[in-house]
Structure 1
């Protein structure tokens, strides 16, 4: 058995009581910060008038799932079922739902609600909701009392139709799952910067986010340059479609890249010095920070920004309309994530491998490997 891997309990714990018309969903999640992922049973509500009930087929594994389940981002409510890259088919809809019907293939990303009233929500930027978006898991469900949202490592979920996305039938549904986080997280700044043919896009890091940034920027017609600290990653970057690879540890290579880049997408989640990358940007260039280091970054030299009117910006996933735009764009250009499919019994091993950087490039859970909820859990 893998060291640190928990022994599954004989009977899955049930999260929340089962209400009339609701269903029990088999799931995997954490019962404490050091429990690892164990079998659980989640009670899902019956669809309300605007709800869509989804039979989950696949759910991507995001590194943020690891942080959340291990309590590495502060106090966490347990038990917790992670997963915010959900793809499945509609099983039931509420009485007022007209835009989805049973059998439709759909997706759910990082949020399942927002206030719907603030300026950001009204502008289609629900991810920046001024009253706080409702995350797909680990968040207080603002429309269902004191319950906490539970995510997609499960066989079903119920979500308000406004936060459900239509998955194009031409795309592999398993490989679509990571698009709902990694895909839109990289698509949004590329669109915000209006990337087009012949622009030069730099991508820092070649993990789950980085490989999507390469694919999407190429599909937009850009020339793509990957910056990496590992020379061994150069063949993989070129295979993904990158036009060039720069070894960022090599001062001569970085000097040669001076003033050659229009936009940098930085996906690295570990502290690193940004100043050498600013020097590769042209006048009016921008660096978008997507990786969120847990420790302080080295200070930015304001002079590097001032002397070329460079923008240093951040970006968080994407709104619902933009996420749908991204899915449609990916269907048009045949873009999906590179994935490794895993079963429920491989989830803890997959977490260990994610932390070690041993994945190329995203893990996706096949929810068909989850066991049906035990009938005793109904009691």
Structure 2
């Protein structure tokens, strides 16, 4: 079926309105009328070919919230009218060790992304959530239990939320733990909210002194200006876990020095160029670790959505119309958004 969408035909062209084709729902498929789609920095990297392998036409978007409009004959657990979400992946091999453990994001055959992933559907690669409709296998669809009025602000949870929730949960953020969040943008502001709700003592690191008050309002117990050596020195050797959301190359030693023995610095931002090599002695002599984390599998993403619904957590957003997406990209590059753009998908056909 034909669906209104916004995408690009080449890396050096703007995003424009286009008509795309969606498959008719198969026996295990859920058809979703998309209400809102968050705008992730990964969308910009992909559509502009800043990461290799972009396939065109490229329709980005993997922070999707909408309503079920049709289900296949063999679908169980979803009904027409349900409020649902789709995140960063829409398929995987389903039989490797990671998939069997519900960690589909680490599929050894490679997960299928919600956009720019290989598929048998036309045009041969997946087309994402900057559109009015999508059809997804039921295994990769999630229930959304937030109130209707919050649905636009729920959309970024499907990437920014799970990207921060998964490592915080894996490394045991909670009461009695001191947790740092580096970089208070689309990802970091969610990390502060979630770590606070988990009961951890939350310290936010920012380069912007002007953000101090608003970061406290997000739930941070303390705010550190990472450019102030005295403020950084006051926290040396005191953190159980630090979640680093910054996607630009920077010196990691400043943060490994803040960890306790057995502490972990976890990276979730993928820079275009490598970070400077860390001081390995700092890791060896204090049994510290630098680790990474990638989104989350379907069971954990559902857990995250339910946790956020229970605690009233949503993203701080700015709503835009589809035709404003290029302007939003330009503002995003200048960090001029608090903290996530969300597309009103009703504007796709306007």
Q: Please, what TM-score do these two structures have when normalized by structure 2? A: 0.98
User: Structure 1: which 5+ runs fail to align?
Assistant: 1-22, 373-379
* Equivalent residues in 2 for 1:192-341, closer than 5 Å: 192-341=170-319
**Equivalent of 1:123 in 91, 98, 101:** 101
Identify the residue that residue 147 of structure 1 maps to in structure 2: 124
**Matches of 1:223 and 1:240, distance apart in 2:** 13
Cα separation, 1, equivalents of 2:66 and 2:252: 39
- Cα distance in 2, alignment partners of residues 134 and 76 from structure 1: 14
Task: Say whether the 8 Å CA contact 1:31–1:79 is kept in structure 2.
Answer: yes
SS of match in other structure, 1:197? coil
Q: What's the CA shift string for 1:89-110, capped at 9, x where partnerless?
A: 0000001002101000000000
Mapped partners of 2:250, 2:208: distance in 1: 14
1:165 lines up with 2:142 in the alignment: yes
Given that 1:204 and 1:264 are in contact with CA atoms closer than 8 Å, whether structure 2 keeps it comes out as yes
- How far did residue 307 of structure 1 move? 1.9
> Pairwise CA RMSD of aligned residues?
1.1
2:187 partner SS:
helix
Equivalence for 2:87: 109
Residue of 53, 59, 73 corresponding to 1:75: 53
Aligned partners of 1:140 and 1:146 also within 8 Å: no
Partners of 2:37 and 2:65 within 8 A in 1: yes
Conserved in 1, the CA contact under 8 Å of 2:16 and 2:323?
Answer: no
Q: Which residue of 2 aligns with 1:8?
A: none
Asked whether the 8 Å contact 1:279–1:304 carries over to 2, the reply is yes
Who wins on radius of gyration, i.e. which is larger?
1
After TM superposition, give the deviation of residue 176 of structure 1 in Å: 0.6
In 1, Cα distance between equivalents of 2:155 and 2:47: 20
What is the SS of the residue equivalent to 1:127? helix
* CA apart distance, 1:198: 2.4
Listed one character per residue, the Cα deviations across residues 50-101 of structure 1 (whole Å, up to 9, x for unaligned) are 0000000000000010011111111321111100000000000001002101
> Are 2:23 and 2:121, in contact at CA under 8 Å, matched by a contact in 1?
no
Gaps of 5+ in 2: none
Q: Structure 1 length as normaliser, TM-score?
A: 0.90
Once the two structures are TM-superposed, the CA of residue 146 in structure 1 deviates from its matched residue by 6.7
**Structure 2 residue aligned with 1:88, among 66, 69, 75?**
66
Q: Quick one: which of 29, 35, 39 aligns to 2:17?
A: 39
1:226 to 1:115, Cα distance in 2 relative to 1, 3 A: same
The count of aligned residue pairs is 349
The partner residue of 1:187 within 160, 165, 186 is 165
For the residue of structure 2 that corresponds to 1:214, the secondary structure is helix
Post-superposition offset of 1:137: 0.4
The CA deviation at 1:144 is: 4.2
Deviation at 1:249, TM superposition (A): 1.2
Structure 1 runs of 4+ aligned residues shifted over 6 Å read none
Note the C-alpha offset of 1:344: 1.2
**1:313 aligned counterpart, secondary structure:** strand
CA–CA distance in 1 between the matches of 2:207 and 2:284? 27
- 8 Å contact kept, 1:28–1:39: yes
Within 2, Cα distance between the matches of 1:44 and 1:154?
10
Distance 2:264 2:339 in 1: 26
- Which residue number in structure 1 is paired with residue 153 of structure 2? 175
Residues 262-283 of structure 1: per-residue CA shift (max 9 Å, x gap): 1100000111111011111111
